[in-house]
Amino acid sequence: MMKKHGMLNSSITKVLADLGHTDWLVIADAGLPVPKGVPKIDLALTPGTPSFKSVVKAVCDDMVIEKVIAAEEVKDGNPDQLAFLNEQFPNLIAFVPHEDFKKMIEKAKAVIRTGEMTAYSNCILQAGVFF
């Protein structure tokens, strides 16, 4: 390992480096189905580890994000994650029905699976540019 800081997971680092403007990266709870053909980076170790929040924060440290998509159902089904998303991404979140969300991830460059075990702890991060 030659990196001094930042993302240490080589699979995530590779995906982040390969993202283009408007490409999608999904951060998912342990139960979200990953469509066939979409690469899955499985970080899940035990129930709850790593958490959705910790993975989102780590990815956000290395990624320019211009938009976030989450399931509409998070509003009633997981107010804690909704508050986290609103704090992390003020004015960047669009909401879609969960069934639509699951179809949308077919277009993602990758899905990062966490150990999160709470409902609707998923988001699509849309890549922005830093220039």
Question: Which has the closest alpha carbon to 84: 41, 51, 112?
Answer: 51
| Residue among 6, 10, 14, 21 flagged as catalytic | 21
Mark whether 5 is an active-site residue: no
DSSP E strands: which ranges in 12-119?
24-28, 40-42, 65-71, 93-96, 110-113
Task: Report whether 120 belongs to an annotated binding site.
Answer: yes
Task: Report whether 122 belongs to an annotated binding site.
Answer: yes
Q: Which residues pair with 94 in a beta bridge?
A: 69
Task: Report whether 5 belongs to an annotated binding site.
Answer: no
Question: Which has the closest alpha carbon to 69: 44, 43, 100, 48?
Answer: 100
Phi-psi region of 24 (alpha: psi -120 to 50; beta: other; left: phi over 0): beta
- Look up tokens 């390969």; give the residue: 18
Question: Hey, which residues are catalytic here?
Answer: 21
Residues of the binding site for substrate: 29, 98, 120-122
